[in-house]
Chain A
Amino acid sequence: MAEFEPKIVGFFCNWCTAAAADMVGTSRMQYPPNVRPIRVNCTGSVDSSYVIRALLTGADGVIVGGCHPGDCHYLSGNYKARRRVAILKQVLDTLGLDSDRVQLEWISAAEGKKFVDTMKQFTEKIREKGKNPLASNWLA
């Protein structure tokens, strides 16, 4: 049987993490192809329901990448995202679902290496966890 290949959805901020991903590409560094990047204008625009929908419709993990605190292009979007992700994780914890499948990371446009390392680590973490039981649920 083929090894389990996790599907990972990444919501990456246009001004930092998405730019880091871009730099990684032009610098010919490699990150796991498991990650499906979605560029968003700001992590503050990532509604919890986007993350939940990803988890319910096939993603094994979701990573949200934004600017370091203090560096938000829109001043405070990443702080709001941090609160929203904290709420999302608490909701999942309370419901007895796996909140470790959601991760928020600060990766600036200059941190290509950090981007690669983070994606590798997260992919491995999810690989170890195995298939997301939510992703195949009938109720979605």
Chain B
Amino acid sequence: MDIGKRISAKSISGEVTGIIGSLLERGLMDGVVALKKSGKGYAYSLLTKGAEMTDVDPLAPYLPTSAANIAAKLSRKGTPKKKIALFVRPCEMRAIVELIKLLQVDEALYFVELDCPGTLTSRYLTEHGIPNSDEFLNSVDKYRDSIRPACSACTDVRTDQSDVAIRFLGTGGQLYILGKSEKGCELVKNLFPDAENIEEPALPDGIANSRKQEEEKLFQFFDKNISGLDNLLNTFANCMNCHNCMHVCPICFCRECFFDSTALDFEGEHFVELAARRGDMRLPDSTFLFHIGRMNHMAISCVGCGFCEDACPVEIPLLTVFKRVGRDVQALFDYSAGRSRLDEHPLKTFREEELEPR
């Protein structure tokens, strides 16, 4: 049971936008971060009192960046003293949980988690433009083939880590606004004086099952086409070293990345020698080092959001690689990235007796 409010909504998105409007108008929040129409797609916008709300669509089927990056941006050089809420999707919430543990995001921010039916690829954005959320929600089947693989195979459909949760999947047009943390309950009570204890609606089995199946397909693809040296070389053969996957990754927060640093700059002679040792070598070098190295650095916190894959100009199945490596690495420590703010981050702690024999 959670403190919450149930609303019959004609337009889910309209209702959520209305909630944002009243949060701001009534001074319950000084700022709200939500998606807003921008060109052919959507961008996150920090809305304040009096902001024009017509283009705001918090459930738009497109994420331009992980909201975890925005939360980090708002926290990094000092969190605002004013009350700010971010309307985020579950994958973003999971990344935020990781970044809270890694001291990149301040828990003083408010996080409102929205049910997410999936998002469309950047390719869809450039080719067709992104439809608004009402259009998308009413005809999800039409867009099924353009939904990002990360979303089709997203098995952590909901977290309970946000301050407020907004649920609508499988409720037949009902919208549930639920307080999930102490300050979240407080906010819900202020927003809806008639809020009461209500049951969170269960996630429809259909969604859970189909996503589990999609995930299984990705893992089968991994075993057949990615695992093993020859497959791996083939998988990464067309990487152009743009490092987009790293720049969009919410977990890759280091301000100076080892792989972007001058640590791997050498005299020209070095490359000639390396090449001579093996016949020939690919330039620019360190492609494989970058990917395997990055896995070692962030797979323990990988939430499987798939922004890496969406940002890849040569369509390397990065989500599949990282989701699988992340799952296996996290299993070592019985950890699941984003599951709980209370789970210790495996790289921030240790046990005196563990992992032996090595």
The residues of A with any CB-CB pair to B shorter than 8 Å are: 47-49, 52-53, 56-58, 69-70, 76, 79-80, 82-88, 90-91, 93-97, 103-105, 133-140
* A84 smallest CB distance to B (angstroms): 7
Query: Does the CB pair A139–B288 fall under 8 Å?
Result: yes
CA distance A77 to B280 in the complex (A): 38
Query: Does the CB pair A87–B332 fall under 8 Å?
Result: yes
CA distance A87 to B346 in the complex (A): 10
CB contact between A134 and one of B229, B329, B352, B355 (< 8 Å): that residue: B229
Query: Does the CB pair A52–B293 fall under 8 Å?
Result: yes
B281: CB under 8 A from chain A? yes
Contacts of B254-294 to chain A: CB distance below 8 A: 258-259, 274, 277-282, 285-289, 292-293
Known: A95-B325, A139-B287, A140-B286. A83 touches B346 (CB 8 A): yes
Q: Give the residue name and chain of the B residue nearest to A102 (CB).
A: B358
The residues of B with any CB-CB pair to A shorter than 8 Å are: 226-229, 231-233, 236-237, 258-259, 274, 277-282, 285-289, 292-293, 295-297, 299-300, 324-325, 328-329, 332-333, 346-347, 350-355, 358
21 interchain pairs (CB within 8 A)? A48-B297, A49-B259, A52-B292, A57-B274, A82-B358, A86-B355, A87-B300, A87-B332, A88-B296, A90-B329, A91-B328, A95-B325, A96-B229, A96-B232, A105-B358, A133-B229, A136-B279, A137-B233, A139-B236, A139-B287, A140-B274
Residues of A within 8 A of B296 (CB): 48-49, 52, 84, 87-88, 91
Residues of B within 8 A of A134 (CB): 229
Residues of B within 8 A of A139 (CB): 233, 236-237, 282, 287-288
Query: Does the CB pair B292–A91 fall under 8 Å?
Result: yes
CB contact between B280 and one of A56, A76, A138 (< 8 Å): that residue: A138
